[in-house]
């Protein structure tokens, strides 16, 4: 092999950033010895892909048959703790290791790293779409989303040739700039004082701060809404930074947490580095490098920020740890909160899970049910500065129904009026986007359904569209029934936030209202504008979906009206009650956060439901105890283990064959129950039919091992996709 180069090459085993379970051997040639964690580019078929060196090759293929690696990135190898995390994450979630590697290398397209990069930006904000070619249209569309990109990225993502970019630049449609690749982040100012902490806050903060630099420790920061949890963990952030460490903060909905960011800036004088889907590619790449070089001090992000290669991670915070937004349901399926705990243990650093309504899992882990205590619980029992928790009451809709075709019952209308008279703000909460969840024909009864999914088309009247919330399929609103042809026969059924807005306009013609949903407030910028307008008193009534329930601090908001408290309780979802309880506590917690006391009113058809009762009695711990008892009795998580195996295929017959194969191979062990196959609750999604099997096992069973050996040798047709969801949430 000597003739290949001056330095002796070795064989290395490489995990490629492609969704494959296997790893491959390559020959390192001139690059000689490469450490575990080294980022490289290797040939795969006729293209080059990025990968990570795992260790010495397996030598199962003779050396002369191996292909040599292409390049080695000019980057430090990924740290051992991070590598271990990636491997453990893959084996816990049963995700192909390559998919995990792909997330970790998401932004290292520049392998090896050039010191300067030429990027392009769009010059004309609103090009005249009618007058441009298709390929240029694609470039514009891409640039509007991405902000700025390099030429190879534009070529790849817009599917255009280099010459298109060249000509567009020449004609002044695109602008070319050179940027330095690394991000030069300003340092946080640690001399700025925070507010004077309350005794409870100070106690919690000092316990956490003492643990910084002393290995793994997990804390459940359990404090009612507005009790100053954020302020408390910011204190811990300050300590970690003072110790020269990096901090990762995960929020369930980062794109919208404007007020959170403002507080951070007020405290540290600089913004944190953000990591979520709204951040442009070029910015992300620089952030990735800054994180890897240890220059980025604080990263605040969505769940994908867990896969950043921190050089020196000293503290992780998962805010609103109960939030289901942390469960990623697509592609790689994982629960980011749980994986954050795993990451903290691999990095040997503390982690804080903060919530006013802890998840059952964290409650159990905090030793609240007599199981082994894994997390230390720190309690903040009062709101700061004299603010009190809102009074929660219910309206029994059976006794006091709204008018026909309306959704607000008389007592809620009265309460809204009294807030308007007092110059205070109200929030009407309804977790349904659009105008109406269902449109049907009044003559023949035809219901408008999505052609690709087993779901209804949701009417969005403001946008003039019908939309499927599962696959994004859209059509115009129909004025005629597509089946019987009758005109003016289509009727909207049920309310969405837009329809509620109509009712508010009808009831309170002089009130100023605003709809807060992902349709009306779609970007971080729009969110900021929205939040400011509410704080400035430009809005009397907010009509919002779950987006309104999270994190906002509106000082003058004193009434929360929950239009349908029962929504979300139906369905066979294991966590339906828990999730509804959490959401309603959160949304009620928006009321009365400062000097004026707040109230929350729940409209319900079932005031006897344990969830509603617990809310009315303010008895969270009893609610949790009941949930614990029910899960324990059913052997469900966190007392037993649960996993779903989902098969999908465009062809129903092929799916049936594959499902039969899966069922035949099902394991038969003591302590393992297998259910199905049955049609998945969404039996048709994005053009694919879906079947599901559920596995429930005793806690002592290694469910991953059971499933792994079950599906390993299964030969399903190529058009059939199989994926595993460990600890499924949505039962999609
Ligand atoms: P949580 O995260 O528990 O909902 P926050 O940390 O957002 O609570 O605190 C609620 C409000 O009280 C915020 O406006 C915050 O700035 C303020 N606050 C928190 N702690 C203190 C304190 N010790 N002194 C004064 N104001 C505080
Ligand atoms: Zn009809
Ligand atoms: Zn659809």
pLDDT at residue 112, as a whole number: 39
Q: Provide mean pLDDT across the span 547-572.
A: 88
- What distance in angstroms lies between residue 686's CA and the mean position of ligand 3's atoms? 6
- Name the percent of the chain in helix, strand, coil, to the closest 5: 35, 25, 40
A 10 A CB-CB count for 584 gives 24
Strands (E), 618-667: 640-649
Q: How confident is the model at residue 726 (pLDDT cuts 50, 70, 90)?
A: very high
What's the CA gap between 626 and 610, in Å, rounded?
A: 9
Beta bridge partners of 122: 174
Q: In the chain, what percentage of residues exceed pLDDT 90?
A: 63
Longest dimension (CA), the chain: 90
* Minimum CA distance residue for ligand 1 atom 17: 228
Pocket lining: 419 vs ligand 1, CB cutoff 6 Å: no
Nearest CA to ligand 1 atom 18: 228
CATH 1.10.10.10 fits 116-180, yes or no: yes
Q: 201 CB under 6 A from ligand 1? A: yes
Torsion, Cα of 342, 345, 346, 347 (10° steps): 120
Ligand 1 near 603 CB (within 6 A) = no
Do 269 and 263 form a contact (C-beta atoms < 8 A)? no
Each residue's pLDDT tens digit, 273-296: 999 888 887 788 888 888 988 999
Concatenate the DSSP letters of all residues of 58-89 into one string.
---S-GGGSPBP-EE-SSPPPPHHHHHHHHHH
**Measured distance CA(493)–CA(6) in Å, rounded:** 75
**Mind giving me the DSSP string for 620-632?**
HHHHHHHHHHHHH
Answer whether 91's CB lies under 8 Å from 332's CB.
no
Q: From CA 639, how far away is CA 181, in angstroms rounded?
A: 48
Q: Is 550 helix (H, G, I), strand (E, B) or coil?
A: coil
Cβ(198) to ligand 1 under 6 A? Answer: yes
Q: In whole angstroms, give the CA distance from residue 582 to residue 315.
A: 26
* CA 667 vs CA 30, 203, 641, 648, 713: distances in Å: 48, 50, 15, 21, 13
Of all ligands present, the nearest one to the C-alpha of 555 is: 1
Task: Report the separation in Å between the CA atom of 438 and the middle of ligand 3, taken as the mean of its atom positions.
Answer: 13
Q: Give the closest ligand to the alpha carbon of residue 458.
A: 3
What is the distance between the alpha carbons of residues 564 and 566, in angstroms, rounded to a whole number? 5
- Whole-angstrom Cα distance, residue 378 to residue 220? 6
Q: Whose CA is nearest to atom 6 of ligand 1?
A: 228
Residue 113 reports pLDDT greater than 90: no
Predicted confidence band of residue 137 (pLDDT cuts 50, 70, 90)? confident
pLDDT band at 334 (very low <50, low <70, confident <90, very high): very high
Out of 264, 378, 384, give the residue to mutate to test ligand 1, the one with the largest number of ligand atoms within 8 Å of its CB: 384
Nearest Cα residue to atom 23 of ligand 1: 197
Buried b (16+ CB within 10 A) or exposed e, 242-254: eeebbbbbbbbbb
CA atoms lying within 13 Å on the CB side of residue 342: 20
d(CA 603, CA 480): 34
Segment 19-60, tens digit of pLDDT: 887 889 999 988 889 999 999 999 998 888 899 999 999 878
- Cβ contact 367:566 at 8 Å: no
Q: Is 266 helix (H, G, I), strand (E, B) or coil?
A: helix
Q: Is the pLDDT of residue 1 over 50?
A: no
Domain edges within the chain: 11-110, 116-180, 199-380, 391-432+495-629, 435-494, 640-726
Report the distance separating Cα 726 and Cα 659, nearest Å. Answer: 19
Q: Check if 384 has its Cβ closer than 6 Å to any atom of ligand 1.
A: yes
C-beta separation of 252 from 323 below 8 A: yes
User: If you classify domain 11-110 with CATH, what class do you get?
Assistant: alpha beta
Q: Decide: 535 in ligand 1 pocket, CB within 6 A.
A: no
Report which ligand 1 atom has the smallest distance to the Cα of 227.
3
CB 197 less than 6 A from any atom of ligand 1: yes
**pLDDT of res. 559:** 97
Distance 439 CA to ligand 3 centre (A): 15
Bridge partners for 549 per DSSP: none
Higher pLDDT, 602 or 73: 602
- Other C-beta atoms closer than 10 Å to the C-beta of 319 total 23
- Count CB neighbours of 539 within 10 A: 22
654 pocket-lining for ligand 1 (C-beta < 6 Å): no
**Cα(93)–Cα(717) distance, rounded to whole angstroms?**
23
Q: What spacing in Å lies between the alpha carbon of 91 and ligand 3's midpoint?
A: 32
Spatial neighbors of 341 by CB under 8 A, at least 6 apart, are 218, 351, 353
Residue pair 412/255 in contact by the 8 Å Cβ criterion = no
Which residue among 205, 227, 231 is best mutated to probe the pocket of ligand 1, counting the most ligand atoms within 8 A of its Cβ?
231
Nearest ligand (C-alpha, residue 475): 3
Collapsing DSSP to helix, strand or coil, 265 comes out as helix
Q: Residue 473 C-alpha to ligand 3 middle, in angstroms? A: 5
**What atom in ligand 1 is closest to the CA of residue 223?**
3
Taking a C-beta distance cutoff of 8 angstroms, is the pair 352, 388 a contact?
A: no
The region of weakest confidence among 72-76, 515-519, 673-677 is 72-76
CATH topology (fold) of 391-432+495-629: Rossmann fold (3.40.50)
- Atom nearest to 553 CA in ligand 1: 14
Query: Which atom number of ligand 1 is nearest to the Cα of residue 197?
Result: 23
629 touches 639 (CB < 8 A): no
Q: Tell the residue nearest (CA) to atom 15 of ligand 1.
A: 228
CATH code for residues 199-380: 3.40.50.300
223 lines ligand 1 (CB under 6 A): yes
pLDDT at 528 over 80: yes
- Local structure of 241: helix, strand or coil: helix
- Residue 692 CA to residue 655 CA, distance in Å, equals 11
Residue 149: is it exposed, middle or buried by C-beta count within 10 angstroms (0-12/13-18/19+)? buried
Distance (Å, whole) CA 138 – CA 158: 6
Query: Does the pLDDT of residue 111 top 50, yes or no?
Result: no
Q: Does domain 640-726 have CATH number 3.30.70.600?
A: yes
Could you say which DSSP state residue 487 is in?
Answer: B
Give me the DSSP letters along 569-603: T-SS-TTHHHHHHHHHHHHHTTS--SSS--EEEEE
Q: pLDDT digit string (tens) for 214-263?
A: 999 999 999 998 899 999 999 999 999 999 999 999 998 876 577 788 88
DSSP H or E run through 104: helix 97-104
Q: Is the CB of 595 under 6 A from ligand 1?
A: no
- Is 391-432+495-629 in the same CATH topology as 199-380? yes
């Amino acid at each position: 092999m000597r003739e290949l180069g001056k330095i002796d090459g070795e064989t290395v085993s490489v995990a490629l950033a492609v969704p494959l379970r296997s790893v491959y051997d390559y020959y390192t040639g001139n690059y000689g010895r490469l450490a575990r964690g080294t980022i490289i580019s290797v040939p795969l078929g006729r293209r080059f892909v990025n990968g990570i060196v795992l260790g010495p090759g397996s030598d199962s293929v003779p050396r002369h048959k191996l292909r040599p690696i292409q390049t080695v990135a000019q980057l430090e190898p990924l740290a051992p703790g991070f590598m271990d995390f990636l491997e453990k994450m893959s084996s816990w979630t049963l995700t192909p290791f390559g998919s995990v590697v792909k997330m970790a290398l998401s932004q290292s397209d520049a392998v090896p790293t050039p010191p300067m990069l030429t990027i392009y930006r769009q010059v004309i904000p609103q090009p005249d779409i009618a007058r441009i070619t298709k390929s240029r249209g694609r470039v514009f569309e891409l640039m509007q989303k991405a902000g700025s990109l390099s030429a190879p990225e534009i070529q790849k993502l817009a599917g255009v040739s280099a010459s298109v970019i060249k000509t567009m630049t020449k004609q002044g449609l695109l602008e070319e700039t050179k940027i330095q690749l690394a991000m030069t982040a300003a340092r946080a100012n640690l001399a700025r004082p925070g507010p004077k902490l309350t005794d409870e806050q100070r106690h919690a903060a000092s316990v956490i701060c003492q643990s910084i630099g002393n290995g793994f420790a997990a804390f459940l920061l359990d404090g009612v809404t507005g009790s100053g949890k954020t302020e408390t963990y910011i204190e811990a952030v300050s300590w970690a930074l003072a110790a020269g460490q990096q901090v990762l903060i995960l929020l369930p909905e980062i794109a919208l947490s404007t007020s959170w960011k403002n507080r951070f800036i007020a405290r540290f004088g600089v913004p944190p580095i953000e990591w979520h889907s709204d951040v442009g590619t070029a910015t992300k790449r620089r952030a990735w490098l800054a994180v890897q070089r240890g220059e980025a001090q604080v990263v605040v992000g969505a769940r994908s920020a867990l896969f950043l290669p921190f050089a020196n991670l000293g503290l992780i915070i998962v805010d609103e740890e109960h939030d289901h937004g942390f469960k990623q349901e697509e592609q790689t399926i994982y629960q980011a909160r749980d994986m954050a705990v795993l990451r903290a243990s691999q990095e040997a650093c503390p982690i804080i899970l903060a919530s006013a309504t802890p998840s059952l899992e964290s409650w159990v882990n905090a030793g609240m049910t007599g199981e082994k205590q894994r997390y230390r619980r720190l309690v903040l029992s009062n709101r700061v500065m004299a603010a009190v928790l809102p009074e929660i009451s219910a309206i029994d809709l059976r006794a006091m129904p709204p008018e026909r075709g309306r959704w607000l019952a008389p007592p809620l209308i009265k309460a809204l009026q009294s807030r308007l008279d007092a110059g205070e703000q109200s929030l009407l909460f309804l977790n349904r986007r659009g105008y109406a969840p269902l449109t049907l024909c009044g003559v023949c009864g035809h219901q408008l359904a999505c052609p690709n999914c087993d779901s209804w088309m949701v009417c969005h009247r403001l946008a003039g569209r019908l939309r499927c919330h599962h696959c994004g399929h859209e059509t115009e609103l129909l004025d005629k029934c597509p089946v019987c042809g009758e005109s003016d026969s289509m009727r909207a059924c049920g309310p969405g936030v837009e329809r509620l807005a109509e009712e508010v306009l009808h009831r309170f013609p002089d009130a100023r209202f605003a709809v807060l949903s992902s349709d009306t407030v779609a970007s971080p910028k729009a969110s900021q504008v929205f939040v400011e307008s509410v704080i400035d008193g430009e809005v009397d009534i907010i009509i919002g979906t779950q987006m309104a329930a999270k994190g906002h601090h509106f000082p003058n908001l004193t009434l929360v009206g929950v239009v349908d408290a029962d929504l979300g309780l139906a369905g066979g979802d294991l966590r339906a009650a828990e999730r509804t309880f959490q959401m309603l506590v959160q949304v009620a917690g928006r009321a009365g956060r400062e000097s004026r006391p707040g109230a929350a009113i729940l409209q319900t058809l079932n005031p006897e439901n344990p969830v509603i009762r617990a809310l009315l009695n303010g008895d969270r711990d009893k609610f949790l105890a009941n949930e614990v008892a029910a899960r324990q009795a059913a052997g469900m998580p966190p007392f037993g283990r649960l996993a779903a195996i989902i098969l999908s295929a465009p062809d129903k017959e092929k799916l049936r064959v594959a499902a039969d194969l899966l069922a035949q191979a099902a394991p038969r062990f003591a302590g393992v129950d297998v259910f199905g196959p049955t049609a998945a609750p969404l039996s048709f999604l994005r053009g694919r039919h879906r079947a599901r099997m559920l596995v429930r096992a005793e806690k002592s069973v290694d469910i991953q091992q059971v499933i792994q050996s079950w599906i390993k040798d299964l030969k399903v047709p190529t058009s059939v996709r199989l994926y595993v969801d460990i600890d499924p949430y949505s039962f999609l």
